[in-house]
Each structure stands twice: as structure tokens, then as C-alpha cells.
Chains A and B, each alone.
Chain A
Amino acid sequence: MDNPVTHAADFFGDNSPDATKAISRSLGNRLLTGLCIGLSFLAMVPLVSILCLVVKNGLPLLDWSVFTELPPAAGMTGGGFGNAAVGTLTMVGLGLALAAPPAVLAAIYICEYDPRGRLAGTVRFVAKLLTGIPSIICGVFAFAAVVVVTGKFSAVAGGVALAVLMLPTILLTAEQALLGVQNTYREASYGLGATRFQTVFRVVLPGALPAIMTGVMLAVARAAGETAPLVFTALFSQFWASSLMEPTASLSVLIYNFSTMPFEHQVKMAWTASLVLVLLVTLTNVTAQLVFSRRSP
């Protein structure tokens, strides 16, 4: 398949200019293949560099105490990022609690109740628009809607920003998950006399649940790594948060703040936090794709 023309030329012992042309064609083919493979592997170099540096610079400070201690003040050593880890989990959880129920319910509506209706069309369009909105705009929205209204930076504002970010991802993956349930199941359910509600709850949702969970996990992984929606909604804090209505630290904002500090220890802390964040995000991604997708029908 590679170069049939060259073979033909060899077979007929043809030494006319056509043969040279065939050789140059075959050579061009090889060159382009090499170039393509070369470029593909070139793209791996930065990734390997990122992973190596994150592990190399992050590992020295990594132990259990970083999860239990507060961030070191400027110029100080020791400490950890316990409050930031808790803050990230809190705000991602808050965002998930706000975004998942409406997203899944809306997906059920546009799949099960009225797939061709005007409302369903509008929701699909809106969800597409929302996925295209930059994550920092979610932060701007939460700033205008929560921070300005309540008068302070808070975990709630951060959670709202992350919820807006997660909403379209969960909605669109849940829609795909529901579409993946075969229509014969629905028909069988109706044939047995089930109502629409019973069909949705007993037949469609159980079938689609693994794929919906995959979408939720992917949204969580993305939200956990986001900085832009949090940097001026939850801000940062050196202390343990005592309520949801005060500035709250997060791993990503800690990395951002510490990365530009002129102190070696703080920079190392940023690398350690990066290692934790990359592990968290990658593990969530891998779990989402392995565990849940394998069980889906």
C-alpha cells in the first residue's frame, strides 16, 4: 500500500524519467511521514517537562503536614496549605450542589419530555453559548451578582462562579447519556403500562446514570483546577475559614499568589500545591473515564 508505483517501476525495469519521479514521490511520502511523527512526538516534550518539574519541585515538601497546616506568611518557612485544600473541596462541592440538580433535570426535560419543543431548543442553544463563555466571565458574573450584593468576598461567591462553569458541561453530557439509552427500553416500559414518570425514573435514569456520573466527574475535575473564577470572588485567606461568607483560600489561587513571590520557600510550596492539584484532577479524570464508562451498557 505504501508505494505501489515504485514497485511497478522496478518490476518493468523502467529507467525512464517516470522512475525518478516515482522515487521522488516515495521519498516525499517518507519525509512527510517522518515529519508528521516527529511533530507528534515534539508535542510530548513540554508535557514531559511539566510533569517532571511538578514532581521534582513538588515532592520535597509533600507530606501529611501540608494538609493540616496553614500557609506560611511572606518570607517564613514551614506550614502547608490545609485551608486551601479544604477551600477547593468546599467550593467545588458547593458549585456541584448548585449546578448538578438543575442541569440533570433540564437534560431530562430536553430528552424525555419535549425534545423538539421550543424550550428544549432554547436550552440546547443556551448551554452551547455557556460552554463558550470564558471561565473568567463566570467570576465576573459572581462578582457582580454575589460579591457586590453581599459586600464581601466569600466561598459562596466562588461556589456560584464554579456552578456557572459546571452547569453546561453537566447538562450536555447528561443529554448525551440519556440519548444513549435505547428507545426499545422506553417502549417496553410504556408497553407494560408505566407512566412517563415511572419510565424516566425506573428505566431511563438507571441506564443513563453511569454516563451522567462521568460527565459530573469531568465537570468536577475541570472546576477543581480553575483559578480565574475564584481569584476575585473567593479571593484568598491565610486562615481556616469559619463560615461560607468570608474570603476563602483555594489551591489554585494559592499557586497563583505564591508563584510570583520572591521567596524560595513559597515558590516550592506553589510547586507542591501544583503536584496535589494535578494528581487530584488527573485521578478524577481517570476515574470518570475508567470506572463509570465501563459499567455503562
Chain B
Amino acid sequence: MSAPSVLRSAARLDCFQVLCAAACVLVVGVLALIFWEILHGAWPAMKKLGTGFLTGTDWVPHRGRFGVLPFIIGTIATSLIALLLAFPPGLAIAIFLSEDFLPRPVRQLVRFVVELLAAIPSVVYGLWGIFVVVPMVQTAGTWASERFGEVPLFAGPAYGNSLIAAGLVLALMILPTITAIARSSLVAVPHALREGAYALGATRWEAIFGVILPAAAPGVVAATILALGRAMGETMAVAMLIGNSSRLSWSLFAPSGTLASLLANQFGEAEGLQISALLYASLVLIAFTLAVNAAGELVLRYTERRTAGLR
């Protein structure tokens, strides 16, 4: 290699490294820019409304009243309903996929189906929900409010577009998340533990409940937390099914709203202080999802360290 070409390639090396480093700075800059843009836009509302925004219960844009509490409660309620509904089947599928109940092709089919569930766009879930889940919920809700009208959860008139309709569809959407992460932590449990349990005379399920699940527990917890984070941020299907009301109600069959559905519905036509208030609401949403995801990520890291120690 002649001297000039060595020089040239050395220079090129430097340029390329600088380019790559610049890309890194850009990636970090994007996150900073997201925070700055949203904070900057939300500032007028934060100054004017203060913490009353978080505890206020009316959302009446044309009167300048902005209280986001009903949407915070709606976000938490729908995600918890989704989690309660998705956890048992999600964990069952994860166990099913990591054990040898049925031959491998059947398990691969189930795995493919779950992955397909994850690939279907949110808006298609919403469309399906409008025509399948909402009528079912309407019928069930009418029946429940006639029989158990005194229980606050079923009180009042039943609507199809309601908290429970959104929760049901959300449950389907977070099922793949729970299954995928729980399955990988079940598979990571060392074989020696399972063999030890069988050698002591445990049946399959005694081994699962007594040995395998406890060993994989942190991973299962992480799966649940990350699924919760996903449910809180999910937007379109919820916006299409929840009925978008800012009225607080105990009933599962009453229309409600979430932070994400509020943003999806009102941003397009918002003006003035409403834009700023919506940006304030998106800050609240970011805070919720980041906190939940960070918790999930921490548990997941702890799991990896723990299973690494078991080997």
C-alpha cells in the first residue's frame, strides 16, 4: 500500500467515525427534542392550570376548563382490565409453548397465531371491536344492569362503547407481549431444576408450580409490567371503542376515555389553550408509560442476572 492511499484510508476512517458519532448524537437529540417540544408547547397550560389540571374532573374546552383526572382513571382502569383478562391465557400459552403437551408442529402453529395477533394493526382491532365486541358488550351490559343494577360496576344504562369493550380488545392486543416475554423466561429456566423436581417424584404441574414458575417469576412479572406499559399507550382501538366521555363513572358499561384516546380525538381540531392542555396531557401519558416501562426493564434485567446465576 503506497503512502497516499494509507493516508486517504486513515482520513476516511476518521470521517466515518465522526459520521457515526454524529448519528448517535442525533438519536439522543431526538429524545431531547421530543421532551423539549412537548414541554415548550405545554408550558402555557402548565402555568395557567398548574396541578389543578391533574385533579380536575371536567374537560370542557370551549369554557376553558381542563381537568384530566377522568382520563387518567380511564387509562389505569382499561389497562388493569386488559391485564386481568390477558394474564391467565397469556401465561397459559407461555407454559403451553415451553412444555411438550402436544407435538412441535401444533406448538409452532400456536406460536405463529400469537405472533400474527401482534402484527394486526391497532385500527383493524378497532374496526373488529365495533362490529363484534361492542354488540356483545351491549347485550351483556343490559342483562347485567337489569339483574345486578345495585352493584356500582353494573349500575346505570349499559352502552356498547364502554370501558369494558376497550379493555377486552386491549387484552387481545397485549396478549402477545405477555406470552413472548414469559415464554422466554420459562425457556431460560435450567433443565437441571426441572429434572430434579421430576426425580423427587413431582408430577408435571407440581414441577411447574413448585419449581419452574418460581424460578421464572421475575420474568413473568416483567412481562406483565411491560404489557401494562403497552396497554397504557395503545390508542386507536381504544379511541374507537371506549365511547370517549369525560364523565366519571363506576360502571364497566359506561363510556369513558383514556389519555391516548383524548389526544387522538381532539388534537386535529384543537386551538389555543386546548393544544397546550393536550400537550400537558401527553406529558402525563409519557410520565406514566416511562415509569411503567422503566420498572419492567429493571425487573427484566434482574431476571437475566438471576437466571445467569442459576446456570
**Contact present for A109 and B24 (CB under 8 Å):** yes
**Contact present for B289 and A133 (CB under 8 Å):** yes
Complex Cα spacing A259 to B121, Å? 14
Query: Nearest 6 A-B pairs (CB), nearest first?
Result: A134-B233, A225-B121, A132-B293, A105-B23, A109-B20, A39-B92
1/0 contact string of A2-28 vs chain B (CB within 8 Å): 111100000000000000000001101
Question: Which residue of A25, A28, A109, A255 is within 8 Å of B123 (Cβ)?
Answer: A255
**Contact present for B286 and A137 (CB under 8 Å):** yes
1/0 contact string of A93-124 vs chain B (CB within 8 Å): 00000000111011011101100000110110
Chain A interfacial positions (CB closer than 8 Å to B): 1-5, 25-26, 28-29, 32-33, 35-37, 39-44, 46-47, 49-50, 53-54, 101-103, 105-106, 108-110, 112-113, 119-120, 122-123, 126-130, 132-137, 139-141, 143-145, 148, 164, 167, 171, 193, 195-198, 200, 221, 224-228, 231-232, 235, 252, 255-256, 259-260, 270-271, 274, 277-278, 281-282, 285
Q: List 28 A-B contacts (CB under 8 A).
A: A3-B203, A41-B110, A43-B175, A47-B116, A49-B132, A50-B120, A50-B124, A50-B128, A105-B22, A105-B24, A122-B24, A126-B28, A127-B27, A129-B31, A134-B233, A136-B264, A136-B282, A136-B285, A137-B286, A140-B267, A141-B33, A144-B40, A225-B120, A225-B121, A228-B260, A232-B264, A232-B267, A232-B268
CB within 8 Å for A259 and B240 given contacts A50-B128, A167-B27 = yes
Q: How far is the CB of A210 from chain B (nearest CB, A)?
A: 20
Interface of B, secondary structure class, is helix
The answer to whether B102 has its CB under 8 Å from any CB of chain A is: yes
CB within 8 Å for A143 and B101 given contacts A197-B12, A228-B260 = no
Question: Which residue of A26, A141, A281 is within 8 Å of B38 (Cβ)?
Answer: A141
Interfacial chain A residues near B122, Cβ < 8 Å? 225-228
Q: How far is the CB of A166 from chain B (nearest CB, A)?
A: 11
Interfacial chain A residues near B203, Cβ < 8 Å? 2-3, 5, 25-26, 28-29
Interfacial chain B residues near A50, Cβ < 8 Å? 120, 124-125, 128
**Contact present for B10 and A33 (CB under 8 Å):** no
CB within 8 Å for A39 and B88 given contacts A25-B203, A106-B26, A126-B31 = yes
Complex Cα spacing A123 to B10, Å? 26
The answer to whether B3 has its CB under 8 Å from any CB of chain A is: no
Question: Which residue of B24, B25, B114, B121 is within 8 Å of A226 (Cβ)?
Answer: B121
Question: Which residue of A33, A129, A252 is within 8 Å of B290 (Cβ)?
Answer: A129
Question: Which residue of B9, B96, B127, B175 is within 8 Å of A259 (Cβ)?
Answer: B127
Complex Cα spacing A85 to B282, Å? 29
Name which residue of chain A comes closest to B226, CB basis. Answer: A132
**Contact present for A44 and B285 (CB under 8 Å):** no
The answer to whether B172 has its CB under 8 Å from any CB of chain A is: yes
The answer to whether B235 has its CB under 8 Å from any CB of chain A is: yes
Name which residue of chain B comes closest to A48, CB basis. Answer: B113
The answer to whether B204 has its CB under 8 Å from any CB of chain A is: yes
Q: How far is the CB of B159 from chain A (nearest CB, A)?
A: 15
**Contact present for A35 and B240 (CB under 8 Å):** no
Q: Kindly identify, within residues 233 to 283 of chain B, every residue whose CB is under 8 Å from any CB belonging to chain A.
A: 233-236, 240, 260, 263-264, 267-268, 275, 278-279, 282
**Contact present for B24 and A119 (CB under 8 Å):** yes
**Contact present for A37 and B102 (CB under 8 Å):** yes
